[in-house]
Amino acid sequence: MKYLLAAAVVAAGMVASFSSANAAGGCGPGFHRGPYGGCRPNGRVVVVRPAPRVVVAPRVCPRGFVWRYGRCRPF
55 is a domain residue: no
pLDDT of residue 57: 75
What number is the average pLDDT over the span 20-40? 77
pTM: 0.28
pLDDT of residue 55: 83
Q: What percent of the chain has pLDDT over 70?
A: 65
pLDDT at position 20 over 60 = no
43 is a domain residue: yes
How many domains, the chain? 1
64 is a domain residue: no
74 is a domain residue: no
Q: Tell me the pLDDT tens digit for each residue of 47-58.
A: 788 888 888 877
Q: How far apart are CA 19 and CA 27, in angstroms?
A: 12
> 31: domain range?
1-47
Q: How far from 62 is each of 8, 58, 70, CA to CA, in Å? A: 86, 13, 15
